[in-house]
Amino acid sequence: MSAVAPPGTGDVTKEQVLEAYRVMRTIREFEERLHREFATGEIPGFVHLYAGEEAIAAGVIGHLGPDDYVASTHRGHGHAIAKGCDVKGMMAEIYGKATGICRGKGGSMHIADIDQGMLGANGIVGGGPPLVCGVGLTAKVKGTDQVAVSFTGDGGSNQGTFLEALNLASAWHLPVVFVVENNGYAEATSSAFHQAGIDVAKRADGFGMPGVMVDGFDYFAVRETAGEAIARARAGGGPTLVECKVGRYYGHFEGDQQTYRGPNEVEDLRRDRDCLDHIARRVTDGGFVEQSDLDAIDRAVATLIDEAVAEAKAAPDPTPADVLTDVYVTY
Amino acid sequence: MARNISFQQAINEALAQEMERDETVVLFGEDVVGGSGAPGDDDAWGGVLGITKGLYPKFPNRVLDTPISESAIMGAAAGAASSGLRPVAELMFVDFLGVCLDQIFNQAAKFRYMFGGKAVTPMVVRTMFGAGIRAASQHSQALYPIFTHIPGLKVVVPSNPYDAKGLLIQAIRDDDPVIFLEHKALYTLEGDVPEEPYAIPFAEANIVREGSDVTIVALGRMVQLAEQAAGELAGEGIDVEIVDPRTTSPLDTDTILESVENTGRLVVVDEANPRCGFAADVVALVAQEAFADLKAPPRMVTPPHTPVPFSPVLEDAYVPTPATIADAVRATAGAATPA
């Protein structure tokens, strides 16, 4: 086996590759399983699936430590898993159970664990970017080397909150990174229309920060680009805007018939651009990682997700009295 | 030791003392330094009305000007509070709520609930409200009912310098998001304020004046007007009790109900618009919990259901006055006991 990383993969170690693969596979299995389970009608509410975009969560959040923070989007399961949120607790949360990571009060759209530095999926498009400015301020005032990353879709990049946050982060020279996951659609409206087809990354120039575009299907490319941005933030070099061009495998929400998409669009993405196929091929071709290592991860993840669903289904519901708790610390 | 200082000085002193006591307290907003990056004086303004003047020189790393970006300011407060600071963010005029409400009510206010009780969001939003200085429709509103309606927020409306200092200190030390509303026409009001720090607990109403005939519940600047009305009414033999709840959320319902049990008559004076407002809330509380004690229908003294007008003649007609309050009290006092 070669101890040297394949060309173009940076200085990544085998352990890092395996961890990234594990995170990506966990997200994929979590989302594919939710897609199937949602169709049974057993899951309440709405879910927005991250499948197809896993390389971004793994490539960005892999650089963060437990004291760093992320603010996510409505499509937030992937960020939560990558940030270390408990997968079984997340599944139970999506089923609305008392054992959920938010005790059944948040659901898919507010999945969060502050203790893990996960400031929440967010039901408000563009809700997250201002929050990371506050985390960045905390790091500055306290003199820590913490970094905060906000994820936003191409849709969210058109909210005033996003633009205000970019400007404030620049004015205050904050240790934050704004990652735009441009999957080409704001709900059903194409980025060719809603941002006139102009790259979000170009907006960075107007806020006096670096703006970088990267292939969001390519874990190694995301890892390298995000690594530079996060290192710059950590070293006091200020904010960066990173735009990841990517695509989603499912609709805006589960149940979306996606009639706005082109014929074979998703099939082509799955066949030609799959981020898990890509990372597996890159690291096994040259023998950097054995296929058997990846297979072992696949099996472990499959078991984890099976258990997560079974335990979530069997878990107790919250009691009606729980509606009254957790509103205030004191009142 | 108590000195006679203004409402504005009381707020400045509370901020300075809490920043001195706790290094995690930070202050930011538009022009709270006032002069950042400009060639002239640092701390040139110290807030648009000078309320935060002098804090930047004392705490240069913890008092920050911002762009005019209220959503970013409120969101930064929520994020900072979630990660270990106690931010005091300034929303210069409460009317600017329209461009940033999401970060307050969908983010900060709901974190603890949505996240299953894990989140602690100790942020304060200081904001100026109220009519009376000819600032017209977009700089004069009394929007505390909007905040009061939102679970997860605490809402403070001080009426005098002593309360302003003690309630602001409590707000900063509190672990929940607090909206602290300062009536702009009260900034120059003077009163006795102890020099040492002290905290006034929330949900503890202040009985401003004891009386036996009619209960007036009033907030903010309306307390002063109610006191003037009460003085006038005393000469007519009507003995008014004035209850200042000080916080609308949480609300000291016990003190209001006890007062109404004693007087049997209620007038609520509220500078907010009347529909679904604070006055209606208190009247509903009393109707539901103390109906049997009522000797007359409760009355609300509020502005009309209109925006705040500009012309002095119009604005004076809009805001409750001691005369309109006294009229309501007389009507209540003279009303027959319901059959």
Q: Does A58 touch chain B (CB under 8 A)?
A: no
- In angstroms, rounded to a whole number, what is the distance separating the alpha carbons of residues A196 and A148? 29
Given pLDDT bands bounded at 50, 70 and 90, which one contains residue A269?
Answer: very high
Q: Is the peptide bond before B309 cis (omega within 30 degrees of 0)?
A: no
Residue B139 annotated as catalytic? yes
Q: In the prediction, which pLDDT does A1 show?
A: 47
Beta bridge partner(s), residue A292: none
- In angstroms, rounded to a whole number, what is the distance separating the alpha carbons of residues A47 and A45? 7
Q: In the prediction, which pLDDT does B42 show?
A: 86
**Is B37 part of a structural domain of the chain?**
yes
**Is B201 part of a structural domain of the chain?**
no
In a shared domain, residues B169 and B218: no
Q: Does A119 touch chain B (CB under 8 A)?
A: yes
Given pLDDT bands bounded at 50, 70 and 90, which one contains residue A3?
Answer: low
- Which of B160, B194, B228 is at the close of a domain? B194
What's the pLDDT tens digit per position in B59-110? 999 999 999 999 999 999 999 999 999 999 999 999 999 999 999 999 999 9
**Is B339 part of a structural domain of the chain?**
no
- Which of B194, B227, B244 is at the close of a domain? B194
Of B72, B84, B118, the CB nearest to A142: B84
Residue B272 CA, chain-centre distance (Å), reads 11
- Residues B139, B149, B183, B305: which is the catalytic one? B139
Distances (CA, A) of A112 to A78, A291, B151, B298: 12, 33, 19, 46
Give the mean model confidence (pLDDT) for residues A111-125. 97
What's the pLDDT tens digit per position in B265-294? 999 999 999 999 999 999 999 999 999 999
User: Which residue of A140, A141, A158 is the best one to mutate when testing the B interface, meaning the one whose CB has the most B CBs within 10 A?
Assistant: A141
Q: Which residues numbered 158-187 in A keep a CB inside 8 Å of some CB on B?
A: 160-161, 164-165, 167-168, 171-172
CB contacts < 8 Å between A and B, how many? 164
In a shared domain, residues B175 and B215: no
- For a pLDDT cut of 90, what percent of chain A falls above it? 95
Given pLDDT bands bounded at 50, 70 and 90, which one contains residue A10?
Answer: confident
Q: What does residue A173 show for φ and ψ, rounded to 5 degrees?
A: 55, 60
Given pLDDT bands bounded at 50, 70 and 90, which one contains residue B337?
Answer: low
In a shared domain, residues B230 and B185: no
Given pLDDT bands bounded at 50, 70 and 90, which one contains residue B336?
Answer: low
For residue B59, give the chain A residue with the closest CA: A141
- In angstroms, rounded to a whole number, what is the distance separating the alpha carbons of residues B181 and B126? 6
Q: Does B78 touch chain A (CB under 8 A)?
A: yes
Residue A200, min C-alpha distance to chain B (Å): 19
Would the pTM of this model clear 0.90, i.e. be above it?
yes
Q: In the prediction, which pLDDT does A11 show?
A: 84
Q: In the prediction, which pLDDT does A229 show?
A: 98
CATH number of the domain residue B322 falls in = 3.40.50.920
In a shared domain, residues B225 and B307: yes
In a shared domain, residues B144 and B76: yes
- In angstroms, rounded to a whole number, what is the distance separating the alpha carbons of residues A203 and B32? 29
In a shared domain, residues B140 and B224: no
**Is B135 part of a structural domain of the chain?**
yes
Q: How is domain A14-314 classified at the architecture level of CATH?
A: 3-Layer(aba) Sandwich (3.40)
Q: Does B80 touch chain A (CB under 8 A)?
A: yes
What's the pLDDT tens digit per position in A119-164? 999 999 999 999 999 999 999 999 999 999 999 999 999 999 999 9
Residue B285, min C-alpha distance to chain A (Å): 18
Q: In the prediction, which pLDDT does B10 show?
A: 98
Give the mean model confidence (pLDDT) for residues A73-98. 98
Query: Is 60 exceeded by the pLDDT of residue A314?
Result: yes
Q: In the prediction, which pLDDT does B339 show?
A: 44
Q: Does B82 touch chain A (CB under 8 A)?
A: yes
In a shared domain, residues B228 and B190: no
Give the mean model confidence (pLDDT) for residues B160-186. 98
Asked whether the beta carbons of residue B115 and residue A113 sit closer than 8 angstroms, the reply is yes
Asked whether the beta carbons of residue B116 and residue A100 sit closer than 8 angstroms, the reply is yes
- In angstroms, rounded to a whole number, what is the distance separating the alpha carbons of residues B155 and B250? 7
What's the pLDDT tens digit per position in B112-133? 999 999 999 999 999 999 999 9
Strand B2-6 relative to strand B63-65, pairing: unpaired
In a shared domain, residues B43 and B189: yes
What's the pLDDT tens digit per position in A282-308? 999 989 999 999 999 999 999 999 999
- In angstroms, rounded to a whole number, what is the distance separating the alpha carbons of residues B209 and B190? 18
**Is B11 part of a structural domain of the chain?**
yes
Q: Which domain holds residue B326?
A: 206-333
Which residues does chain A have within 8 Å of residue B72's beta carbon, measured at their own beta carbons? 130, 133, 161, 164-165, 167-168
- Which of B145, B163, B194 is at the close of a domain? B194
CATH number of the domain residue B74 falls in = 3.40.50.970
Q: In the prediction, which pLDDT does A2 show?
A: 54
Mean per-residue pLDDT of chain B: 97
- In angstroms, rounded to a whole number, what is the distance separating the alpha carbons of residues A131 and A71? 7
In a shared domain, residues B184 and B214: no
- In angstroms, rounded to a whole number, what is the distance separating the alpha carbons of residues B229 and B219? 14
SS3 string, chain B, reads: CEEEEEHHHHHHHHHHHHHHHCCCEEEEECCCCCCCCCCCCCCCCCCCCCCCCCHHHHCCCCEEECCCCHHHHHHHHHHHHHCCCEEEEEEEEHHHHHHCHHHHHHHHHHHHHHCCCCCCCCCEEEEEECCCCCCCCCCCCCCHHHHHCCCCCEEECCCCHHHHHHHHHHHHHCCCCEEEEEEHHHCCCEEEEECCCCCCCCCCCEEEECCCCEEEEECCHHHHHHHHHHHHHHCCCCCEEEEECCEEECCCHHHHHHHHHHHCCEEEECCCCCCCCHHHHHHHHHHHHCHHHCCCCCEEECCCCCCCCCCHHHHHHHCCCHHHHHHHHHHHHHCCCCC
Give the mean model confidence (pLDDT) for residues B167-189. 98
Q: How many domains does chain B have?
A: 2
In a shared domain, residues B143 and B279: no
Of B78, B118, B154, the CB nearest to A134: B78
Q: In the prediction, which pLDDT does B73 show?
A: 98
